[in-house]
A = this chain, B = another copy of it.
């Protein structure tokens, strides 16, 4: 019997396949797996590709898929139905669930995801509760996109003479190839429908922070703090202290440190072994399929 864990993310899909005796069969990687970005059919093709790579072409008995973009009850129904025949039995879950379980292995915890968007999900051992995670227009506080928009609006205010520019302003103008005010306007609206491109400015901010530019650190810290505040609300709500940070923005040392400090000041503990999300999906699949040897193998390998 084969079981699989799949992370259908916004930039790529990753799958890991085991047999029920705890042996790794293989891993697979393919294109994005977010049905909202790609359409259901193309997402399914990418998910299937990654899965078949991992299983060396064999049919998998139980697969758990964690989806980026599973944001409404309607999505849950649609995705679950559409992806049901990817394996003999398939379960579709929110990507925060697999991100959390990749670190806690079924134990209660709070996962905070900060990538292009942001979300805080708490699990008390029974139910999952969420704060945010509803996209750029409604609730992306502390995310790369949110931080980048703050940066863009600040640059606009510098051009308008409402704010002081200084080192960060000069740094960003070089990075973005913005010489006059109109260049900034063009940059912003040429990229308005590409959330990822705008969000990528956060990486420049981190580069500036690493060079010691304080204003860049401020932008990153503000994002980390606002998201930590939400994590703290969740800590009280589910009565759990373990916090798992996930997502590309936590690769920024400035951001990570500011977040960690806030959480620890509130009595929380950061849990971050760097396990990939598909491992959380695999853990869930193993539990559901009753493959205890896989559960133990994962715990042994990944909690050291």
Residues of A within 8 A of B (CB): 71-74, 130-132, 134-135, 137-139, 149, 152-153, 156-157, 160-162, 182, 184-186, 188-189, 192-193, 230, 233, 237
Nearest chain B CB to A234 CB, angstrom units: 10
| A149 interface neighbour in B137, B160, B185, Cβ under 8 Å | B137
CA distance A14 to B26 in the complex (A): 68
Please name the residue on chain B nearest to A160 by beta carbon: B131
**Copies of this chain, tallied across the complex:** 2
Nearest chain B CB to A164 CB, angstrom units: 14
- Contact A188 B72, CB 8 Å, known A132-B160, A160-B132, A162-B131: no
Asked whether, in the complex, the Cβ of A162 is within 8 Å of the Cβ of B230, the reply is yes
Please name the residue on chain B nearest to A134 by beta carbon: B185
Nearest chain B CB to A117 CB, angstrom units: 12
Nearest chain B CB to A74 CB, angstrom units: 6
- Contact A182 B233, CB 8 Å, known A137-B192, A152-B137, A188-B138: no
Asked whether, in the complex, the Cβ of A233 is within 8 Å of the Cβ of B185, the reply is no
CA distance A137 to B184 in the complex (A): 11
CA distance A129 to B140 in the complex (A): 34
Can you list 13 residue pairs at the A/B interface with Cβ under 8 Å? A72-B182, A73-B182, A131-B162, A132-B160, A134-B156, A134-B185, A137-B149, A137-B153, A137-B188, A138-B156, A139-B160, A161-B233, A193-B193
Asked whether, in the complex, the Cβ of B230 is within 8 Å of the Cβ of A135, the reply is no
| A185 interface neighbour in B72, B131, B184, B192, Cβ under 8 Å | B72
